[in-house]
Structure 1
Amino acid sequence: MLVAAGVAALVLPGPGLLLIAAGMALLAMRYEWARKLLRPIKRQAMHLARQSVQTWPRVAFSLLVSGLLVGLGILWGIGLPVPGWWPANPRWWLFGGWGTGATLLASGVVALGTIIYSFRHFRPRTPS
C-alpha cells in the first residue's frame, strides 16, 4: 500500500519518494528481492545525508528549504484570497486546500527531522 501510495504521490501532492522508500523498507523485512533493491538506495541516502551537513551553508540552506515547506503548507492550508494577477480560473488558486497543505507541512517536518538526524550522526565533531 505504501509503495502504491508513493507512486501516486509522484504525480499528486505528497512525499512520493519517501512513501516508496518506506514501503520498500517494509517489504525488505520479509523479501530478499526488496532488500537487494533497497541496499543501493540506502547507501546513496546515507552518502547524501553525510554530505548535506559538511558545511554550515549546506545546513543553513537545508533548514531554509524545510522552513519554506512548512510555511507554504500552512499558507496553502489556510487558503489566501485569489490575487488580481492570477491568470487562470480562481478555483485553481491553491488547489487542494488542507490536503495539499498537510502534505507540504509533513514534508517540511520530515526534512527537518532528516537534517537533525544527519547533523547528529554525520557532522564532523570539533574538539572542545
Structure 2
Amino acid sequence: MKHEILIEDTGERFACDEQETVLNGMARLGRKGIPVGCRGGGCGVCKVQVTSGDYRTTRTMSRQHVSQDEQEHGTVLACCIQAQGSLSLKVVGKLHKAVCKGLMPLAPTQALGSHMTL
C-alpha cells in the first residue's frame, strides 16, 4: 500500500510504499542533492522530524546522530522508517540544506496547498 509523504519545508509530496523506507521514496523525487548516505542508519545525513502520521522503525539508528530523546519526539533517520499511513515531515541538518537549497521558505498555507505526487 502506498502512502503520501509531505515535506513541509518545500510543499513537495511523494508516494511511498509501506514496505520501502521513506528515504527511498524521497530519492525518487529525482532532485539533485538529496543525500542518501549509507542507507543503514549510521551516517545521519537523512535526518527528518516526523510532525504527523504513523511509521515503523526498521533498524536501529546511531545514537551519535539521533538521541533517544530526539527519537521519542519524532526525529528519526528517513532510511530507518517505513510509513504506515500518510506522513508530514520536516528535513533536518544536512538533508535540510540539500533539500531546501535555493528555495524560498513557504508560508504554512502554501505548503498545504502544493501537490507533487509521484
Larger radius of gyration: 1
TM-score, structure 1 length as denominator?
Answer: 0.19
Give the structure with the higher percent helix.
Answer: 1
Structure with bigger RCO (C-alpha 8 Å, 6+ apart): 2
Give the structure with the higher percent strand.
Answer: 2
TM-score, structure 2 length as denominator?
Answer: 0.20
